[in-house]
Amino acid sequence: MKKNHPNHTDETTLWIAFKKGDVRAFEQLYNRYFEVLANYGYRLSTDKQQLEDAIQDVFVDVWRRRQHLADVESVKFYLFRALRHQVIRNTRNDLLETSEDINDFLDFLVAFSSEQQSIEQETQVNQTQAVAKAISQLSQRQQEAINLRFYHGMSLDQMTQLMGLSKQSVSNLLFKAYSVLRLTIKGIQPLILLFFQLSRLIN
């Protein structure tokens, strides 16, 4: 008789099953988080092959150590931190930002701005390009902080652990990034106001 494997959908249940050696749960973790890790990883390395190797190393490592892993509040955060450490070990490269990731972040901001959705397409393209240019001028740490908070929805506590900084330092990065954008993009007030409002909501 063929054995039925449960389809774990809850993150916590999935993690617990994986720790017990459930191969199907491990496969679901891999399929669920590979692309998410890759998207974040482009901040850590622009070498696609090295990044994919690092992600593979992370999953191999957690599988080998599964019986000794603790329960986690956020599997996504745990894997993000593991990938960051793995990339640093593998490459020792500085954080880098890709244009594709910038566009993803811009899409996120635009989706929350009803005013931006109602403007004409040509104007929106021009504004998007202006924001992209402004973001590219931010420091790599500022870009990472913006991405983790607004694109990946991480809390300040998670960001401080992942980035290895104090809460005040992370808050300063976000505020300075806003200040730079505010000075650089004077004609896109809705997006800038939105960014500032979101940054003030950090716990």
Provide the CATH number for the domain around residue 143.
1.10.10.10
Opening angle at CA 16, ends 161 and 26, nearest 5: 90
Residue 136 sits in which domain range? 99-200
> Of 31, 58, 91, which marks where a domain is finished?
91
> What digits encode the pLDDT tens for the residues 50-92?
888 888 888 888 888 888 888 888 899 999 999 988 888 775 5
Q: Are residues 81 and 105 in the same domain?
A: no
Q: Are residues 76 and 124 in the same domain?
A: no
Q: Does 173 fall in a domain?
A: yes
Q: Does 68 fall in a domain?
A: yes
Kindly report the backbone phi and psi dihedral angles of residue 55, in degrees, each rounded to the nearest multiple of 5, phi listed first. -65, -45
Which pTM value belongs to this model? 0.48
- Distance in angstroms (rounded) separating the CA atoms of residues 1 and 12: 29
**What are the residues whose beta carbons fall under 8 Å from the beta carbon of 150, sequence distance 6 or more?**
105, 108, 109, 195, 198
| Neighbouring C-beta atoms of residue 42, cutoff 10 Å | 19
Q: Are residues 112 and 188 in the same domain?
A: yes
Q: Does 168 fall in a domain?
A: yes
Q: Are residues 103 and 77 in the same domain?
A: no
% of the chain exceeding 70 in pLDDT: 64
Whole-Å CA distances, 177 to 29, 90, 140: 33, 29, 11
Instruction: Quote the number of domains for the chain.
Output: 2
